[in-house]
Amino acid sequence: KEWLSKGHGEYREIPSERDFFQEVKESKNVVCHFYRDTTFRCQIMDKHLTVLAKKHVETKFLKLNAEKSPFLCERLRIKVIPTLALVKDGKTKDYVVGFTDLGNTDDFTTETLEWRLGCADVINYR
């Protein structure tokens, strides 16, 4: 219940960089997708993250428009879209950059992404 009250269990967009800091402060595990509207692969990522957000309520799943977040993209050194920032205890611990870790293909499975997030220990993966 506490997780759900903090926005876990759903994949949602946050409006600004400022919201990012607030969101990661209040949750132990956060996956944040830095995306661009014009990037097709971001839509593929969205599809998988929507499924995983419902399945892994222990983690908060967010998306943030990279074009509206220049400070954060610079600070986190995000150069490739899509990039997932994997945040644990308020610190960015790992990144999934593009689809390289996911088999370098557009038709990777949700399970592949789930496994990769499990490797970073931001979801409970068995």
Domain annotation for the chain: domains and CATH numbers: 1-120 (3.40.30.10)
Q: Is the pLDDT of residue 68 over 90?
A: yes
Contact 30, 122 (CB under 8 A): yes
Quote the pLDDT of residue 1: 84
pTM for the whole thing? 0.96
Note whether 31 and 61 are within 8 A (CB): yes
The pLDDT of residue 59: 97
**Residue 2 pLDDT greater than 90, yes or no:** no
Residue with tokens 């409006």: 15
* pLDDT tens digits along 50-65: 999 999 999 999 999 9
pLDDT at 126: 80
